Structure 1
Amino acid sequence: MNMIQAINSALDLLLARDPDIVVMGEDVGYFGGVFRATEGLQKKYGKTRVFDTPITELGIVGVSVGMAAYGLRPVPEIQFADYIYPALDQLVSEAARLRYRSAGEFTAPITVRSPFGGGIFGGQTHSQSPEGIFTHVAGLKTVIPSNPHDAKGLLIAAIEDNDPVIFFEPKRIYNGPFDGHYDRPARAWSGHPEAEVPEGYYRIPLGTARIVREGNDVTILCYGTMVHVATSVVAEKGVDAEVIDLRTLVPLDIETIEASVKKTGRCVVVHEATRTGGFGAELSALVQEHCFHSLEAPVERVTGWDTPYPHSLEWAYFPGPVRLGEALRRVMEE
């Protein structure tokens, strides 16, 4: 399966298992979603389980909060992560706080799915990476898969979780992995080991990172599309790097990070979101706090620029092999 098919498989499986699960959003019903992640689900489960909504992100998430409080388990789709901002008040003030303000009487088992990130020439309003906004909010969980196998297992775990989850899907790798070179098309997932997705039920617990590649000289912390950039650069440069796919940002698997950095003594953090206030800053601080006496060099960050997403300069903004290679060289020379 590619990532779209894996997500569709997870939704299909859970809709069949749990009558309280509903899928909703703009064009997710008859049309099957702008990326076809919900294709065929309305026909199979009907218009009361998989349904289209008006173009109102605030309304989509607000209705989901009410559904969740009532006892349903809604899975709303925000068509692009760039459109999620009108719903921030409902996510931050209502969904994230519902369990706490009601002393556990009510929960908000909502999984907000949304394609995010750049790499498809979508321009400023279809390419943003706003994960740092949500990782700052207590009560929200943030999940970002990097491959089809993890996408299905993590989505199942997210939907079954009793807290609200932001589930960002890197659209650059929906159809295949990517090595960071703008002049190379993404490779198809077919034949890739991470595309071996079981048809049946399985879940990957939230808060568990994955060591993609073991190494001894430097730790690379990454997630989503950047996992593929990192593994490609390491192979090209011949660096003995340990590449860790975080998979979930909140909750974070700090134990795996700590063990790796204490082994390698060096750390590079990679994400495509803007640098200032990005999740890489939190990772750098945590590495300093947990691994200070093991570090042989300062923690390096390779990120997007502090500017609105530039459509005409997308590949200069997108962290790629050149900038990551330079960061690895600097940290290895210390």
Structure 2
Amino acid sequence: MSSAVVNPPAVADATPDTSALTLSYAQAAALALSEAMQADRHVVALGEDLGRGGVFGQYRGADGRALVERFGPERIIDTPISESTIMGAGVGLALAGMRPVVELRVADFALCAIDELVNQAAKNRFMFGGQGRVPLVARLPIGIWTASAAQHSQSFEAWFAHVPGLTVVAPATPADSYGLLHAALASGDPVVFMEHKELWSMQGPVTPGVHQPLGKARQLRSGNDITLVSWSRQVHAVTEAADALAAQGVGADVIDLRSIWPWDRAAVLESAGRTGRLLVVHESIQAAGFGGEIAATVAEHTAARVARLGAPRIPVGYAPTLESVARIGAAQVVAAALKLLQR
């Protein structure tokens, strides 16, 4: 992976584009994939249920048609229920010159393909002196999925960020679902593309042709009192919390990291150094979560006071009362921010 994208500046919200389409998070990803497949015959997708448009409709265009109707079963490939086989086939396709998108249904099931992803895809380029490349995108839906319990509600971004050779992306909006998937497909290296299960139906503006580079954060709110950093679905809880804090006279910088690795160190360090407070918020379990890496980096390079807010170290329960214990909402973010401001 190129080191040039490790520390780029944050990207502010763009001026609304009148040419933008209103698409769901799922439709935005389908648009990006269909554009890439149209432009490059080497791009293929393989996984379970792709022929019917994917479990979440992420292989179905805005017109409702499954992408297989446009590109055929040779490029939108339905596979047996065997994650290790799916990922192994994807690695082989990539090494043979294709650009596969590997669909693993939910991130929880990706653990069945961990060897192929972590020991084969991530390391091939380095073990063989660059003779082989694995331009593969692994789509791993993450996060709590209402009433889906412990084996369908996990977030493993910290696991994959730990692995040299993998890029890890977690879009929070339809525009980023579109733009970052394009960037992932063009990167030339294996990318773990983590889409949140409860964002699939979220609607938002998407401008065709506007792509986001990997490794650049996005600033959603500006303030001088505290820096709030998050990604994926939790960005929306943090933004709501920032608005509530503003009503109390507290100005918060809100940064959507977008890429977990490489992450936008420069943007976070600049903001935290200026505000003097950093709160990292993520849906995944707080213990050993990626928020710890961000907090430690800020503590090493600035005088800012840091704190983390993540889920308790428990399996996500099926019952609503149990599931709610694992969720982090805006009220908890506000409370954690106010507590940090008092330190």
TM-score (norm 1): 0.91
Distance in structure 1 (CA, Å) of the matches to 2:95 and 2:68: 24
Counterpart in the other structure of 1:262:
273
- Does 2:327 match 1:318? yes
Tell me the SS of whatever aligns to 1:64: helix
Counterpart in the other structure of 1:206:
214
Counterpart in the other structure of 1:245:
256
Counterpart in the other structure of 1:28:
50
Counterpart in the other structure of 1:197:
206
Name the aligned partner's letter for residue 255 of structure 1: A
Q: Counterparts of 1:113-124 in structure 2 under 5 Å?
A: 113-124=139-150
Counterpart in the other structure of 1:38:
59
Q: Following TM superposition, by how much is the alpha carbon of 1:119 offset from its aligned partner in structure 2, in angstroms?
A: 4.5
Distance in structure 1 (CA, Å) of the matches to 2:301 and 2:143: 29
Moved over 4 A (4+): none
Q: Counterparts of 1:66-81 in structure 2 under 5 Å?
A: 66-81=92-107
Counterpart in the other structure of 1:15:
37
Counterpart in the other structure of 1:233:
241
Q: Counterparts of 1:106-145 in structure 2 under 5 Å?
A: 106-145=132-171
Q: Do the aligned residues in 1 keep the contact of 2:245 with 2:251 (CA within 8 Å)?
A: no
Structure with larger RCO (C-alpha < 8 A, sep 6+): 2
Distance in structure 1 (CA, Å) of the matches to 2:176 and 2:284: 21
Counterpart in the other structure of 2:17:
none
Residue segments in structure 2 that go unaligned for 5+ positions in a row: 1-22, 61-65
Q: Deviations over 1:18-51 (max 9, x none)?
A: 000001100012x110111102211100110001
Counterpart in the other structure of 1:271:
282
Tell me the SS of whatever aligns to 1:196: strand
Aligned length: 311
Distance in structure 2 (CA, Å) of the matches to 1:166 and 1:237: 33
Tell me the SS of whatever aligns to 1:116: coil
Q: Which moved more, 1:257-266 or 1:322-331?
A: 322-331
Distance in structure 2 (CA, Å) of the matches to 1:98 and 1:203: 27
Q: Deviations over 1:62-100 (max 9, x none)?
A: 111110110000001111111100100111110000100
Tell me the SS of whatever aligns to 2:148: coil
- Does 2:176 match 1:150? yes
Distance in structure 2 (CA, Å) of the matches to 1:121 and 1:219: 32
Counterpart in the other structure of 1:332:
341
Name the aligned partner's letter for residue 27 of structure 1: D
- Does 2:292 match 1:281? yes
Q: What's the C-alpha RMSD, in Å, of the aligned pairs? A: 1.0
TM-score (norm 2): 0.89
Among all aligned residue pairs of Structure 1 and Structure 2, give the percentage whose two residues are the same amino acid: 38
Residue segments in structure 1 that go unaligned for 5+ positions in a row: 177-188, 190-194
Q: Do the aligned residues in 1 keep the contact of 2:245 with 2:252 (CA within 8 Å)?
A: no
